[in-house]
Structure 1
């Protein structure tokens, strides 16, 4: 019993010491954290920047340790990333097909919708009929991405809707990646330009210029991607087509044209053309055979005449 009691007392003492040690460490960590928050922010920033500057000095190409060869981040802080990621970047595209008895009125209504959402018509193709009235039209519209849904709803009500479809692509991550790579690439080019000014030998100048040309080409490509994404995310694209539907009066006139003298004349002319085409086709098919028969008939005729003369000539008696 005495040995068991001694072991239990020893385990309890060890556990109490462990709890006391953990409490002390937690208190020290909390105190040091508060002191850094209250007055040590600048000092911590300086200490964080010092290793980066030291790494820059140790790198042979003079680039920041926050860069890498692919141009990906690393120089951008969490605050910059959060600012860009707060707003979603969407590429929106729509397709609307309408029908209307009056295409020109439908075009007017479509223009009103475009003006309401502060958009613009970037392409317009219109076909007209015999009377000069529009029979169909095709338009390409650019509207603010934030008002894409409003524009689609307005266009669908501009005339009789046939089909409507939309496609929205989230490119927030891609936009963020390209923006970061552009900033990093620009900083890299600035550092290489400094190295070019400091280079003394021809070999160093050639090597630095090669690096500078490569990174400038990469930067130009990234800037084109950045401009394209900025345009596509700022303005949505909608393709709209309008076709003319026949009015009841037009249908009645068409029905009347199918009957009467004009309809009979048209049917007779069509039949005449069909017969003429059939005869011409038959003649064309038989012509080669007729030519061959004509060539064979002439020698045959001469032979027949010669045989006939021999039969009719008198026999001379001795």
Structure 2
């Protein structure tokens, strides 16, 4: 089966006063149609930059310096800027953390959704509005026709995020990159949107890359998970197995710090130290200064270890028990 999205060796760097800094380092993963890939890690781990790199939205002083981004078998990095622009929205779309990065505050919802439709599919405005209404109904917005006549500020945060997702769905793209779209929402609205996303993936075959720092969200939504640290994927595999029995020490630390896994009042375990600065990474494994399993061998670059159910970037993978 052709993967909806196949990322191979993606590397993104930024020029700073101290030289080039690699924010995404040799990242590879694939997502099949109708599947959801969770991309998790601490702030600064490279999750969002990975999403923007896939979309071709990295501007100077940054650049995608290596790798392939295959959408439906076509490498977006080899396309001309014009052809890449044509693929964005039609074949691969993005939902941002702040829906107002998608929505224009001075235009009615229907007007801007209709414009998004007609960029790729020339048609009458009435036909474009009909498609916009259908997209709003797909994400569970009631009275969809009436919502087309309002401005974004007249909608709640959860409703605006649904509109942003509906806009991404207008051309039935094969891939949607979702960059922490539920972070600013309350728990009940978040749960509703996650349920809609799961339904959309199952019913439409759209593949999602769900960027999040929230392991609880990813564990309930994603089929597979990639754990990122300092710009690298350190563990990837089926979500339920990774959550139940992490094999990388960093993954174990992330899961151990989830409040829901501990008794009320119990002190949460912490990963010692802080995420390293990308301009001054430790030699060898970047997680070495914070790792409870570090040995002198970890001063060398960690190997990519293929285990039975996952891949781990580590000299000393943990035992496969919960």
Q: TM-score, normalized by length of structure 1? A: 0.15
| TM-score using structure 2 length | 0.15
Q: Which has the higher helix share?
A: 1
Larger Rg over CA atoms:
1
